[in-house]
Chains A and B, each alone.
Chain A
Amino acid sequence: LAKTTQPISMDSYEGQEVNITCSHNNIATNDYITWYQQFPSQGPRFIIQGYKTKVTNEVASLFIPADRKSSTLSLPRVSLSDTAVYYCLVARMNRDDKIIFGKGTRLHILP
């Protein structure tokens, strides 16, 4: 599984756009990039997944540059309820890989 690096924590304010960047320098050709959100005492929740360029859904956007060595999760107009831990995962087709979650990014939204 490709190693990922994310900021440990971030603060932002309600109504702002928040961008969380994840570095994955050794990403392989078959790797997909997936982001999860976790609230305290709850299981992680799938947010968005992409392979290249840009993906958008009703919750977030995911930007992936051409070299795919990083990705940016963009949360538009955050609210207090977006306070959570956000995990970036890079996983490949090899099903023998261990599915490892990193420490994630603790996002704290301020009023």
Chain B
Amino acid sequence: DSGVTQTPKHLITATGQRVTLRCSPRSGDLSVYWYQQSLDQGLQFLIHYYNGEERAKGNILERFSAQQFPDLHSELNLSSLELGDSALYFCASSVEYFYNSPLHFGNGTRLTVT
């Protein structure tokens, strides 16, 4: 158990809808990262937050947004969903910045858009 909690585990929704994925980092971890992994694809970096502030952004679509709250949990909001958004969404946390703080991943949220 990595200590990172992601909810829900599974989500099935229709095109055009909006969903929110939630991540609770390990106790004490200040950094939260979001990744998308489509079937048989690599991990696509979406966004990184550190102690409530956005630190780095990947190729995250404008329909996607995220935030980290004062209690350090994070939410990833996906709107106007398309079939291609179906994927596993992982959250990871680390104590500090990435360079000497390994990432600890949750078990992901599997999103299916129909």
Instruction: Tell me if A93 counts as interface (CB < 8 A to partner B).
Output: yes
A41 part of interface (Cβ distance < 8 Å): yes
Chain A residues touching B, range: 20 to 34
Asked whether A96 lies within 8 Å of B99 as measured between CB atoms, the reply is: no
What separation, in Å, do the CA atoms of A42 and B57 have in the docked complex?
23
**Is the Cβ of B98 less than 8 Å from the Cβ of A95?**
yes
Smallest Cβ-Cβ distance to B58: which chain A residue: A98
B70 interfacial by beta-carbon distance below 8 Å: no
CA of A104 to CA of B40 in the docked complex: distance in angstroms?
12
A92 touching B99, Cβ below 8 Å:
yes
Binding site for B on A (CB under 8 A): 30-32, 34, 36, 41-46, 49, 87, 91-104
Please list 9 pairs of residues, one from A and one from B, whose beta carbons are closer than 8 Å in the complex, sorted by A's number: A34-B102, A42-B108, A44-B92, A87-B43, A93-B97, A93-B99, A95-B99, A96-B56, A98-B56
